[in-house]
Structure 1
């Protein structure tokens, strides 16, 4: 799942853990997760931020990749 700051800087926060990243305009990060869980991810976007609520904390690994494909975080 790709999350990007299309129009300007944006803060992307992953809940319920509160892990956050700040993206510059046109920069993106990728959330890698089990495809079965994708329909349960809740995303809310506003002018300068994106909130991503992940399902089933503790039951799955969620990997955050930077725009070069390098792992920058692993949640749960």
Structure 2
């Protein structure tokens, strides 16, 4: 069974490394929403819609943070062959 990297104990792909880096850089109050965002990425959501949903849910406005998350989501999307 396949699972999102956020829930799995296995070697990470390069995109997942970017995602973890972005995740641990987030303020703690955004971690739950970010876990859901990365699960959605695993389930096939496109990067742009997924990031918009995260921003709407968290009211995140930090451009550096959202750029980092967007880069990670795009890498994950590319890795899954979308």
TM-score by length of 2: 0.27
- Higher relative contact order (CA closer than 8 Å, sequence separation 6+): 2
The structure whose residues are more often strand, as a share, is 1
Structure whose residues are more often helix by fraction: 2
TM-score, length-scaled by structure 1: 0.28
